[in-house]
Amino acid sequence: MKGTQLGEFEEIVLLTIALLYDDAHSIAVVEKLSQRLERPISLGAVHRTMQRLEEKGLVISRFGEATPERGGRRKRLFTITIAGEQSLREVRHIRNELWEGIPKTAFDHLT
Partner 1 sequence: MNRKNKTHQDPPGWAERLLARITAPHIREEVLGDLYELFQKRVQRYGYMKARLLYVLEMLLLLHPRLWRKQAQSAHLYTKPTDYSTPNPLVMLSNYVKIALRKLNRHKSYTLINVVSLSLGIACTILIFTLVKYHLSFDTFHANQDRIYRIYTELHTEKVTYSTGVPSPMGEAFQGGYSVAEEVGRIAFFKKRVVSVSPEKKFEEDIAFADPDFLSIFNFPLIQGNSKIALQERNTALITDRIAKKYFGTQDPIGKLLRVDNSLSVRITGILQNLPPNTDFHTEIYIPFSNLQEHSPWIVEKDWWLGFNKEMQCFIRLKPGVSAATVDSRILTAISNKYYDKEMAKQFRFKLQPLADVHFNPKLRGYTEKKNLWTFALIGFFLVVTACVNFINLATAQALGRSREIGVRKALGSQRGAIFWQFITETGLIAGSALIIAFGLAYVALPFVNQWFDIELSLNPLTDTDLLVFLLLLLLVVIFCSGAYPGLILARFQPVLALKGKLSQQAVGGFSLRKGLVVTQFAISQLLIIGTLIITNQLRYSQQADMGFRKDAIVILPVPDNKKSKINTLGAQLSEMSGVENVTFFDTPPATEFLGSTSFRFDSRPKAEAFNISIKSADHQYIPTFKIPILAGRNLNPSDTIREYLLNETAVKSLGLASLQDVIGKSATINGRSGTIVGVIKDFHFKSFRVAIEPLCLTTWGEVYNSCGVKVNPANLGPTLSGFEKAWKAMYPSSIFTYRFLDEDIERFYKLDNMLLRLIQAFAAIAIFVGCLGLYGLVSFMAAQKTKEIGVRKVLGASTASILWLFGKEFFRLLLVAFMLAAPLAWWLMDRWLNNFVYRVELGAGIFILAILITLIVALLTVGFRSVKAALMNPIKTLRTE
Give the interface with partner 1 as residue ranges (CB under 8 A).
3, 25-27, 30, 42-45, 47-48, 51-52, 54-57, 60-61, 63, 68-71, 73-76
CB nearer partner 1, residue 65 or residue 100: 65
Q: Say which residues have a Cβ less than 8 Å from residue 15's Cβ, sequence separation at least 6.
A: 88
Q: Residue count of the chain, please give it.
A: 111
Minimum Å gap between C-beta 57 and partner 1 is: 4
Compare residues 11 and 52 and give the one whose CB is closer to partner 1: 52
